[in-house]
Amino acid sequence: MKLNTSKFLERRSTVAAAVAVTLVSTSLISTLGNAASAATKPLSIGVSLSLTGDFADSGTAAQKGYKLWVSDVNKKGGILGRQVSIKIVNDASSPDQVVTNYTNLITQSKVDIVMGPFSSLLTIPASRVAKRYGYSFIEPAGGGPKVFAEKNPNLFFVQPAATTKGGDVFADYILSLPASSRPKTAAYVKLDDPFAAPLADNIKARFEAAGIKTVYDQTYPSETADMTPVISGVAAKAPDVLVGGTQTADAFAQVKAMIQLKFNPKWLFLSNGASSPLEFPKAIGLKNTEGVFTSSDWYPKSTAPGTAAFIKAYIAMYGGTAALIDSTSAEAYSAGTLLELVAKKTGKIDNATIIKTLHTGSWPTLVGNLSWNAYGEPQGAYLLTQWIGGSLKTVFPTASAQHAPVAPKPAWVG
């Protein structure tokens, strides 16, 4: 049997052409449609936060910062004309849950951008997920050495310096004093914690190099509720300066123990705990805060540009007073600010652009002008703040100082 091949081929090519045209046109329409909707659909941001569990307070503070930034940026017309939407999911302070959350945000919710959770503990696993999917990872609250040891080029820590360098500014101040008025002896009382202890050790290295003698250097475990025996050991050595490598509860316990033992060093620096404008006076009594040094990136009396507007918007949204604003809220807000700045500079907002752009230049935020090394470690310095007249004030570096440092420290009120 002879097959009419030419007719068959002709018919086949017609069908093929029709299919091809349909396919091309369909995909063209779809592409055009996508392009059109990409410009107008909201820019979706995904964040996992510790709304319950150990970090609940800080997680909630970060949530306030993120949400406030979203509200502010949308009032200004969004980013590149796109409204911003934020999806915040709870990780209950769990490093396992945070991995699930970011994986879901990226693969199921298909958010455009992810930003960081609270704490280095959660930032490390979360940043690995972001890196795996090629997402940028601007994060406000994971500044421990292990975060940067990940060598994740997608990561940007939104604070002025790595957390363990938070005390360097105190060393700068002490060593700026004339040799005759510097402390002669120092004690280091450190929580067994990856941030608190290295921070105090960094100060110790600087002090020892300058000839300030170490008379006490001990680490205590995190379950130490009662600090009186430890502080009695310190008091017996009568150091001029006490450097507390502290987190929160232990900072308060150290102060209570000092008051109870009537031990008042001439300089007292507490790395964390004392930097909380809200909790510190509540835990030890406002009168007893006088003269305690700590370091901060943002606090209500900060002179960083944008602070007044931020405080006003914060109070309008959440009520309360400026003194009640946690620095974590300002840090999370600043993380959002960086997105705005990148879009403004490049006219684009996608992960590759964010990563490439933030690696150069200096970026002004509420927490200072930020710039990073290749793995997201900020290259700036914290401000030295001191409790003076019932509030935190910047006392060093002199250029940003709101008040001269008060030393020796006034006596405890009791």
Partner 1 sequence: MHSVVQALILGSLTGGVYALMASGQTLIFGIMKVINLAQGAFVIVASYLTFSLFQMTGLDPFLLIVITTPIMFILGAATQWFLLRPLRPDDAAELSLLVTFAVALGLEGALSIVYKTTLRSIMPGYENHSWTVWGYQVNEVRFYAFLLSIAMLGILYLLLQKTKFGRSVRATVQNPMSAQLLGVNSKAVSAFGFGLGVSTTAAAGAVFGLITPFNPGSHYDLISRLLTIVVLGGMGAIGGSVIAALIMGVGAALVSALSAPIWADFTFFIVLLLVLLLRPRGLFGAKVRGAL
Query: Which residue type does 396 have?
Result: F
Taking the least distance from each CB to partner 1, the nearer of 284 and 339 is 284
Nearer to partner 1, 253 or 395 (CB): 253
Q: Give the Å distances, CA to CA, from 8 to 4, 17, 139.
A: 6, 14, 63
Identify the residue among 135, 148, 252, 310 touching partner 1 (CB under 8 A). 252
279 is an interface residue for partner 1 by CB under 8 A: yes
By beta-carbon proximity to partner 1, the closer residue of 282 and 345 is: 282
- Please identify, using beta-carbon distances, which residue of 147 and 227 lies nearer to partner 1: 227
Give me the phi and psi of 243, to 5 degrees please.
-105, 115
Kindly tell me which of 178 and 221 has the beta carbon lying closer to partner 1.
221
Distance from chain centroid for Cα 262: 35
Q: First CA to last CA across the chain, in angstroms?
A: 112
To the nearest whole angstrom, how small is the minimum distance from the Cβ of residue 288 to partner 1?
8
Angle at 253 between CA 209 and CA 327, to 5 degrees: 75
Q: How many CB atoms lie within 10 A of CB 208?
A: 12
Is 182 in a helix, a strand, or coil? coil
CA triple 136-197-265, angle to 5 deg: 130
Shortest Cβ 64–partner 1 spacing (Å): 13
**Shortest spacing between CB 59 and partner 1, in angstroms:** 10
Strand partners, 170: none
The CA distances from residue 282 to 279, 289, 321, 352, 409, in Å, are 5, 10, 15, 45, 20
Q: Is 400 in the site for partner 1 (CB under 8 A)?
A: no
Binding window for partner 1 (CB under 8 A); candidates: 1-9, 258-266, 337-345, 389-397: 258-266
Window contacting partner 1 (CB under 8 A); options: 283-291, 294-302, 335-343, 368-376: 283-291
Binding string to partner 1 for residues 44 to 63, with x set by CB under 8 A, is what? --------x-x-xx--x---
Euclidean distance between CA atoms 236 and 358, whole angstroms? 50
Interface with partner 1, residue 290, by CB under 8 A: no
**How open is the CA angle 292-296-301, to the nearest 5 degrees?**
85
**From 70-78, 245-253, 334-342, 353-361, span contacting partner 1 (CB under 8 A):** 245-253
* 170 vs 412 by CB, closer to partner 1: 412
CA gap 102, 355 in Å, rounded? 18
Instruction: Give whichever of 54 and 172 is closer to partner 1, judged by the CB atom.
Output: 54
Residue choice 42, 145, 153, 285 for contact with partner 1 (CB under 8 A)? 285
Location of structure tokens 């936060």: 49
Shortest spacing between CB 331 and partner 1, in angstroms: 18
Of the candidate residues 284, 335, 392, 407, the single one contacting partner 1 (CB under 8 A): 284
Q: Which stretch in 7-15, 27-35, 104-112, 253-261 sits in contact with partner 1 by CB under 8 A?
A: 253-261
CA 141 → CA 137, 222, 328, 390, distances in Å?
12, 20, 7, 26
Among 282, 344, 345, 348, binds partner 1 (CB under 8 A): 282
Q: Tell me the two tokens of residue 176.
A: 């700026």
* Binders of partner 1 in range 185-244 (CB under 8 A): 192, 218-221, 223-226, 228-230, 232-233, 236
228 or 346: CB nearest partner 1: 228
Alpha carbons 44 and 389: distance in angstroms, whole number: 44
Strand order in the sheet with 383-388: 213-220, 185-191, 241-245, 267-270, 293-296, 383-388, 391-396
- The answer to whether residue 67 forms part of the interface with partner 1 (CB under 8 A) is no
Structure-token pair, residue 58: 């800080």
414 lines the binding site for partner 1 (CB under 8 A): yes
Upper half-sphere CA count for residue 357 (Cβ side, 13 Å):
20
> C-beta of 278: minimal distance to partner 1 in Å?
8
- Residues of this chain that interact with partner 1 (CB under 8 A) are 52, 54, 56-57, 60, 192, 218-221, 223-226, 228-230, 232-233, 236, 248-249, 252-253, 256, 259-262, 278-279, 282-285, 288, 412, 414
